[in-house]
Amino acid sequence: MEIAVKHLCKSFGGRTVLRDLTFTAGPSITAVMAPSGTGKTTLLRILLGLERPDSGTVEGLAGKRLSAVFQEDRLLEHLSAEGNLRFVLGRVYDPAAARALLDRLGLPDTGAQPVREFSGGMKRRLALARALLAPFDALALDEPFTGLDRENRDLALACIRETAGDRPVLLVTHDAADAAGSPVVTL
């Protein structure tokens, strides 16, 4: 599967954030890198169908399932890690698969502890686990390693690579180490 972005343009209030952006994201990770405020999140929002481009096209996503990590964790603070996963995943929730992934992400069994008591890094890893456990054909990850130290970033990146396999992953990052060995789109 490939995602083809062709001549994508988007402006807000007369300020252009995407200008004639063209690239193809194939199997595995494609890193999206640029300074803050240059359209990286807008690009992902367009791919997810949350924004409409002013012009240009996105091909390869029709009828496909996308899973995402947003800049914000978007967790239900009063629920536990398991409660958050069950709420989002519904019938596809697999407790054994969830526990195995949380363990690989270095997120210990927190039992009934509400997410509001988690550290920022724990919340981020839970948000990533939620995206990786959902059925998907492609992943859109908006700075998924925010708040993680190098060891946890490396664990998370390995989990992404392993879980995604040959499916496209668009990874917005500011860290060149996260993009190592991957094609890079610069805005």
Q: What is the pLDDT of residues 104-123, one digit of tens each?
A: 999 988 889 999 999 999 99
Instruction: Tell whether the torsion through CA atoms of 97, 99, 101 and 104 is positive or negative.
Output: negative
Percent of the chain with pLDDT over 90: 89
Residue 124 confidence (pLDDT) above 90? yes
For residue 151, the enclosing domain spans 3-186
Rounded distance, CA 11 to CA 42, Å?
Answer: 10
Q: Find the mean pLDDT for residues 81-98.
A: 96
- What is the number of residues in the chain? 187
- 144 by DSSP, 3-state: which? coil
pLDDT at residue number 110: 87
Residues 53 and 35: their CA atoms lie apart, in Å, by 20
Q: What tokens appear for 126 in the block?
A: 């839970």
- Furthest C-alpha separation in the chain: 50
Q: Is the pLDDT of residue 129 over 90?
A: yes
Out of 67-71, 108-112, 161-165, pick the least confident.
108-112
Place of tokens 């924004």: 51
| Lookup result for tokens 């210990």 | 108
> At 156, which CATH number?
3.40.50.300
Distance CA 144, CA 132 (A): 12
| Structural Rg of the chain based on CA atoms | 17
Structurally, the chain folds into a number of domains equal to 1
Closest to 134 in 3D by CA, of 66, 62, 64 = 66
Per-residue pLDDT, 35? 86
